[in-house]
Amino acid sequence: MSVRSLTPREVFDLRAKAVQPVTILDVRESWEYERVHLPDCLHIPMDDLRERLDELDREQTYVILCHHGNRSLQVAAFLQNRGFRDVINLAGGIEAWSVSLEPDLARY
């Protein structure tokens, strides 16, 4: 089963139109999150995810976010393999989000 990926614009539109909540799960390290993050996202660093898996709802829609989209793709596949029903990779990560949607966000 392949992981669905959406562009920042597609994720923005999905969240705007969604009937059920769509949670952005930021899996970057704490220092990255502190530097810049999107509002209303859930932060669980990739390395902590196994221990914190019970904090997530398998029926919830999650958009997984990292810096460029590589770690988030791995996490999305991990969650799918553990029975999460609707997991989406944010293609290009927060870097693509800042370039395409919010140029005032800090970049690193």
Rounded to an integer, the average pLDDT of 49-73 is: 97
- Give the CA radius of gyration of the chain: 13
Rounded to an integer, the average pLDDT of 88-103 is: 97
CATH number for the domain formed by residue range(s) 4-100: 3.40.250.10
Q: How far is the C-alpha of 101 from the C-alpha of 82, rounded, in Å? A: 32
Q: Is the pLDDT of residue 1 over 90?
A: no
Q: How far is the C-alpha of 8 from the C-alpha of 77, rounded, in Å? A: 19
Closest CA to 83 of 48, 56, 47, 51: 56
- The pLDDT assigned to 37 comes to 96
Taking the CA atoms of 11, 60, 58 and 38 in sequence, report the sign of the dihedral they define. positive
Q: Is the pLDDT of residue 65 over 90?
A: yes
Q: pLDDT tens digit string along 19-29? A: 889 999 999 99
C-alpha dihedral (102, 38, 7, 99), degrees to nearest 10: 30
Q: Which amino acid is at 23?
A: T
Rounded to an integer, the average pLDDT of 54-59 is: 96
Q: pLDDT tens digit string along 12-50? A: 999 999 888 999 999 999 999 999 999 999 999 999 999
Domain ranges of the chain: 4-100
Q: What share of the chain has pLDDT > 70, as a percent?
A: 100
Taking the CA atoms of 60, 30, 70 and 41 in sequence, report the sign of the dihedral they define. positive
